[in-house]
């Protein structure tokens, strides 16, 4: 396959380099990634500034193109400009440092990179490793290569897979489970601080709320050393509530 790879940790992040090295064993890999870290940028795109693409080399080997934009920018530019003459079969975004679970999906540049691919009707995957402190990129890369090799994917249009891999040795993985997006979220607060000139600034802090302990939730299976695979869609309509509103306002109540 021809695979377009992006991330939100920046083109020099170890996760994207290791992912590329593994995918290249069986696929053609084309990298377009942010020039610096663009974590938590969501699905932002650049519309009022020019985008620059610079060739990047690592150990005298061509790695890919660095772009002064977001992950969504990178996918757009990769598909419609840099590699417009290549038939891209799949978009993979990652390997992210740290998990993307629950409400992370709304903030994550990694997930948005995959969803941008899905919006272009290309099968797309976001992949993350579960540990910020000691991320095991090798396990995540081995998993995705094996997953693509053994599992026939027929991903519906406008849909992507959000994959989170436990940060353990590959031999310790118990397998994978199909999961749903959990209600895992954050209780944020802001700490006021002073700079050396006496000006007040704010630092966002918070704690994770995990109160969705059903066995099919994304973070639950991850803690059990299973890979979590969650199908996600580009469109956000709440159809259950939509039908309820229709019944209430259009049904004669």
Reduce the secondary structure of 78-139 to three states and give it as a string: HHHHHCCCCCCCEEEEEEEECCCCCCHHHHCHHHHHHHHHHHCCCCEEEEEECCCCCCCHHH
Distance between CA atoms of 22 and 143, rounded to whole angstroms? 10
Residue 96 is assigned to a ligand binding site: yes
* Beta strands at 2-6 and 28-34: parallel, antiparallel or unpaired: parallel
Nearest to 156 by CA among 116, 123, 132, 111: 123
* Beta strands at 2-6 and 53-58: parallel, antiparallel or unpaired: unpaired
Residue 218 is assigned to a ligand binding site: no
Residue 8 is assigned to a ligand binding site: yes
Residue 146 is assigned to a ligand binding site: no
Distance between CA atoms of 185 and 173, rounded to whole angstroms? 25
Binding-site positions for a divalent metal cation read 8-9, 39, 96
Binding-site positions read 8-9, 39, 96
């Amino acid at each position: 396959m021809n695979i377009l790879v992006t991330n939100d940790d920046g083109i020099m992040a170890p996760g994207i380099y290791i992912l590329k090295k593994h995918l290249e064993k069986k696929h053609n890999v084309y990298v377009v990634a942010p020039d610096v870290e663009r974590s938590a940028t969501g699905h932002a795109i650049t519309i009022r500034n020019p985008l620059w693409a610079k060739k990047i080399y690592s150990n005298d080997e061509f790695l890919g193109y660095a772009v002064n934009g977001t992950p969504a920018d990178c996918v757009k530019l990769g598909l419609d400009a840099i590699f417009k003459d290549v038939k891209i079969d799949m978009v993979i975004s990652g390997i992210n440092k740290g998990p993307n679970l629950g409400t992370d999906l709304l903030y994550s540049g990694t997930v948005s990179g995959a969803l941008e691919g899905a919006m272009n009707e290309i099968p797309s995957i976001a992949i993350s490793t579960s540990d910020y402190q000691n991320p095991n990129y090798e396990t995540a890369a081995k998993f995705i290569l094996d997953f693509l090799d053994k599992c026939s994917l027929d991903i519906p249009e406008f849909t992507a897979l959000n994959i989170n891999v436990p940060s353990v040795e590959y031999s310790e993985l118990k397998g994978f489970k199909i999961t749903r997006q959990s209600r895992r979220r954050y209780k944020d607060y802001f700490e006021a601080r002073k700079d050396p000139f006496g000006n007040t600034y704010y630092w966002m802090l918070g704690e994770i709320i995990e109160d969705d302990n059903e066995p099919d939730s994304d973070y639950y299976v991850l803690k059990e050393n299973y890979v979590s695979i969650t199908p996600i869609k580009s469109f956000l309509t709440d159809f259950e509530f939509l039908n309820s509103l229709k019944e209430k306002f259009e049904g004669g109540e």
